[in-house]
């Protein structure tokens, strides 16, 4: 049962990324659900799990863009590892910590991705990072905190209902 829960959550977030991220877009900016689930699981499971999961998620994303095969796998692996380290040193249940970590993680991920994707062309990198990455990082962080609050509330209500049923 312990292994089924993370896999189920991963599938839900990948489904959200595939089918709802574009519908939630504001202009060209949309939340990155794949990054959200990677950050969530890496925070709670640690850097080793985060890097393995990041590699898997990145490789799945790379299959849809074979011209840059390995780029998502690399950036998501690094993201999972360093997020797992940060999660072990911070307070993952704090909304402010989660918001900051999600925003910084999204920006760092895009920094590495865009530098390599644009062949170290700093002009193209800077334009893409400012016009897409910065707003996307904020949007992803806001959605991540909202999802975290909803999940926390739902879990609290479930525990309360179990307690009432036993009384």
CATH code assigned at 80: 1.10.1760.20
How many structural domains does the chain have? 1
Within 13 A of 52's CA, how many CA atoms are on the CB side? 4
- Give the domain range for residue 84: 4-166
Tokens 């689930």: give the residue: 37
Q: What's the pLDDT at 64?
A: 78
Confidence at residue 132, expressed as pLDDT on a 0 to 100 scale: 78
Paired tokens of 44: 């709670």
* Among 62, 49, 53, 8, CA closest to 35: 53
Burial class from Cβ neighbours inside 10 Å (0-12, 13-18, 19+) for residue 83 reads buried
Q: What is the mean pLDDT of each run of 10 residues along the chain (167 residues)?
A: 61 68 75 86 89 89 81 91 85 79 89 82 79 85 85 67 58
Helices (H), the chain: 4-19, 33-45, 47-62, 71-89, 95-117, 122-128, 134-166
pLDDT in tens, 11-23: 666 676 666 667 7
**Residue 3, pLDDT score:** 61
How far apart are alpha carbons 42 and 40 in whole angstroms?
6
pLDDT of residue 55: 92
> Which pLDDT score is estimated for 65?
77
What pLDDT shows up at residue 4?
60
Residues forming a β-bridge with 26: 29
Q: What pLDDT is attached to residue 47?
A: 92
């Amino acid at each position: 049962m312990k292994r089924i829960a993370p896999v189920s959550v991963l599938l839900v977030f990948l489904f959200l990324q595939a089918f709802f991220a574009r519908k939630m877009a504001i202009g060209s900016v949309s939340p990155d659900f794949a990054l959200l689930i990677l950050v969530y699981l890496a925070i709670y499971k640690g850097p080793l799990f985060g890097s393995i999961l990041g590699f898997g998620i990145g490789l799945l994303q790379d299959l849809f863009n074979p011209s840059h095969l390995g780029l998502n796998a690399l950036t998501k692996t690094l993201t999972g590892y360093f997020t797992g380290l940060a999660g072990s040193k911070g307070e993952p249940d704090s909304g402010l910590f989660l918001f900051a970590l999600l925003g910084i993680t999204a920006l760092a991920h895009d920094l590495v991705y865009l530098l390599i994707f644009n062949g170290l062309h700093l002009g193209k990198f800077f334009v893409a990072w400012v016009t897409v990455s910065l707003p996307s990082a904020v949007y992803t962080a806001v959605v991540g905190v909202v999802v975290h609050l909803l999940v926390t509330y739902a879990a609290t209500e479930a525990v309360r209902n179990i307690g009432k049923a036993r009384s």
